[in-house]
């Protein structure tokens, strides 16, 4: 088995950087590995206009290390009030790459999200015309649906009708977590793709609940069964261009995670590529990592592939127990425990 790999520099097609003091930690951590990243707009208040997205981008760029060419690709947060004109402005702004749909109250800072999709028809039609991809948090939020079934129900009730009503719209089903979602994406036309996180490739719901409650393994969509994890591993390492890397790295203050009502989100960015390498090695498909991490996302977004490279070496090393920012700390996945691969910078 190879002990060193050189890959085209990867991109992260789903990333939460947050704002303010956290940016001093999150931006350099992602810039270390990734050439570009799709930046999620679920700030509080959300990024709903092009003007807000460009101002947020400028705040991010201040924290990009001098020797890095890290490029944040901005997104707008779709609400029922998003106008066709705002989407046209987004389509014309090269710094804006996509629009994000959160079902209302599905996850962190999704209160301003969408309850009734038909109220978004004008915006969606405009996105279809502009070729702006719609990024979807795919969970049904009707009260009473079991949290472990939310993704599967969403596919049938919401996603299937949507892709039929907008036959040219490019859609990314974000952070797929189930065998059902893998199958849905496989059967869908090529204009529908999916991102897969490192944590959903490496962990199942036992890692959340067995032997004690692990708040740092709590995220949405929630971790699923082992057979779902196996289906995700098979999809990610299949060589199909419909699946590509999106960490959904989602930092929260340690105090908000280790709490009686803990926040959803796992901070994977500091060792993201290394975690994916572990997962692909588990699947016996390290040779398929580059397509998933560095080619298929750029191809889907019709952007050029990166021209620089990164080197991964088999090496045991550890992340710190936490990262300090302002007055808080963020605990990364695998804090202070050994990783098997290391990105050499
Ligand atoms: C994300 C966050 O914290 O912003 N949390 C998560 O568990 N993934 C929101 C999201 O992407 O669902
Ligand atoms: Zn997310």
Which residue's C-alpha comes closest to atom 5 of ligand 1? 265
Report DSSP letters for 50-103, one per residue: HHHHHHHHHHHHTTS-TT---EEEEEEE--TT--HHHHHHHHH-TTEEEEEE-B
For residue range 204-240, what is the model confidence (pLDDT) as tens digits? Answer: 999 999 999 999 999 999 999 999 999 999 999 999 9
d(CA 156, CA 48): 28
Give the position, in ligand 1's atom list, of the atom nearest the Cα of 16.
4
CA 102 to ligand 2 center in whole angstroms: 10
For the chain, how many residues are written? Answer: 345
d(CA 223, CA 217): 8
d(CA 151, CA 141): 9
Buried b (16+ CB within 10 A) or exposed e, 130-150: eebbbbbbbbbbeeeeeebeb
Residue in 107, 138, 139 to alter for ligand 1 test, most ligand atoms within 8 A of Cβ? 107
SS3 category, 332: strand
Average pLDDT over residues 278-292: 98
CA 194 to ligand 2 center in whole angstroms: 13
The number of folded domains in the chain is 1
d(CA 212, CA 76): 38
Q: Which ligand is nearest to the CA of 221?
A: 1
Residue 1: per-residue pLDDT: 64
Q: Which ligand is nearest to the CA of 39?
A: 2
| Nearest alpha-carbon partner for 311 in 103, 36, 1, 10 | 10
d(CA 57, CA 95): 8
User: What percent of the chain is modeled with pLDDT above 70?
Assistant: 100
Helices (H) and strands (E) in the chain, counts: 14, 13
Average pLDDT over residues 297-309: 98
At residue 202 the predicted structure's pLDDT band, cuts being 50, 70 and 90, is: very high
Task: Output the domain CATH number for residue 244.
Answer: 3.20.20.140
- In SS3 terms, 127-180 reads as HHHHCCCEEECCCCCCCCCCHHHHHHHHHHHHHHHHHHHCCCCCEEECCCCCHH
Residue 109 has pLDDT above 90, yes or no: no
Residue in 219, 266, 331 to alter for ligand 1 test, most ligand atoms within 8 A of Cβ? 219
At residue 107 the predicted structure's pLDDT band, cuts being 50, 70 and 90, is: confident
Among 11, 12, 228, 248, the active-site one is: 248
For residue range 230-276, what is the model confidence (pLDDT) as tens digits? Answer: 999 999 999 999 999 999 999 999 999 999 999 999 999 999 999 99
Q: Which ligand is nearest to the CA of 108?
A: 1
How deeply is 90 buried, as exposed, middle or buried, from its count of CB atoms within 10 A (0-12, 13-18, 19+)? buried
User: What percent of the chain is modeled with pLDDT above 90?
Assistant: 95
Q: How does the average pLDDT of the chain come out, rounded?
A: 97
Residue in 113, 138, 220 to alter for ligand 1 test, most ligand atoms within 8 A of Cβ? 220
What does DSSP say about strands 96-101 and 12-15: parallel, antiparallel, or unpaired?
unpaired
Ligand 1 neighbours (beta carbon < 6 A): 16, 42, 107-108, 137, 219-220, 248, 250, 264-265
Which residue's C-alpha comes closest to atom 11 of ligand 1? 248
Average pLDDT over residues 105-118: 88
Q: Is 12 a catalytic residue?
A: no
Q: Which ligand is nearest to the CA of 139?
A: 1
Give the position, in ligand 1's atom list, of the atom nearest the Cα of 252.
3
What one-character DSSP code corresponds to residue 104?
A: T
What one-character DSSP code corresponds to residue 41?
A: -
C-beta atoms surrounding 248 within 10 Å: 26
d(CA 267, CA 260): 19
- pTM score, whole prediction: 0.98
Q: Dig out the tokens for 234 from the structure.
A: 């098979």
CA 220 to ligand 2 center in whole angstroms: 8
CA 4 to ligand 2 center in whole angstroms: 31
d(CA 203, CA 224): 8
For residue range 307-327, what is the model confidence (pLDDT) as tens digits? Answer: 999 999 999 999 999 999 998
What one-character DSSP code corresponds to residue 307?
A: S
C-beta atoms surrounding 111 within 10 Å: 13
Residue in this structure with the two tokens 């989407």, named with its chain if needed: 87
Q: Dig out the tokens for 316 from the structure.
A: 């045991």
Range of the domain at 43: 4-344
What does DSSP say about strands 323-325 and 12-15: parallel, antiparallel, or unpaired?
unpaired
CA 302 to ligand 1 center in whole angstroms: 26
For residue range 46-104, what is the model confidence (pLDDT) as tens digits? Answer: 999 999 999 999 999 999 999 999 999 999 999 999 999 999 999 999 999 999 999 99
């Amino acid at each position: 088995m190879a002990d060193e790999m050189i890959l085209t520099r990867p991109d992260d097609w789903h990333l939460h950087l947050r704002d303010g003091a956290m940016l001093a930690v999150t931006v350099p951590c992602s810039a270390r590995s990734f050439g570009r990243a799709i930046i999620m707009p679920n700030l509080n208040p959300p990024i709903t206009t092009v003007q807000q997205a460009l101002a947020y981008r400028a705040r991010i760029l201040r924290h990009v290390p001098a020797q890095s060419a890290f490029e944040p690709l901005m997104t707008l947060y779709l609400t029922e009030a998003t106008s066709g004109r705002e989407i046209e402005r987004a389509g014309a702004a090269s710094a804006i790459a996509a629009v994000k749909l959160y079902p209302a109250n599905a996850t962190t800072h999704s209160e301003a999200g969408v309850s009734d999709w038909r109220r978004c028809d004008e915006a969606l039609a405009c996105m279809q015309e502009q070729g702006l991809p719609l990024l979807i948090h795919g969970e049904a939020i009707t009260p009473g649906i079991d949290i472990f079934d939310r993704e599967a129900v969403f596919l049938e009730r919401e996603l299937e009708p949507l892709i039929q009503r907008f036959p040219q719209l490019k859609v990314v089903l974000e952070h797929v977590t189930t065998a059902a979602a893998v199958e849905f994406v496989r059967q869908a036309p090529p204009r529908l793709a999916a991102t897969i996180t490192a944590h959903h490739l490496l962990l199942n719901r036992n890692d959340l609940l067995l032997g004690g409650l692990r708040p740092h393994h709590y995220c949405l969509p929630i971790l699923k069964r082992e057979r779902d994890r196996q289906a995700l591993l098979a999809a990610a390492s299949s060589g199909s261009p419909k699946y590509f890397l999106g960490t959904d790295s989602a930092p929260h203050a340690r105090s908000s995670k280790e709490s009686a009502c803990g926040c959803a989100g796992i901070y994977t960015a500091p060792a993201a590529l290394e975690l994916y390498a572990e997962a692909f090695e588990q699947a016996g498909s390290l040779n398929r990592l580059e397509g998933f991490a560095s080619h298929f996302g750029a191809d889907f977004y019709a952007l050029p592939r990166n021209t620089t490279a990164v080197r991964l070496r088999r090496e045991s090393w550890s992340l710190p127990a936490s990262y300090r920012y302002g007055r808080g700390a963020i605990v990364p996945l695998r804090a202070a425990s050994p990783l098997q691969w290391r990105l050499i910078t």
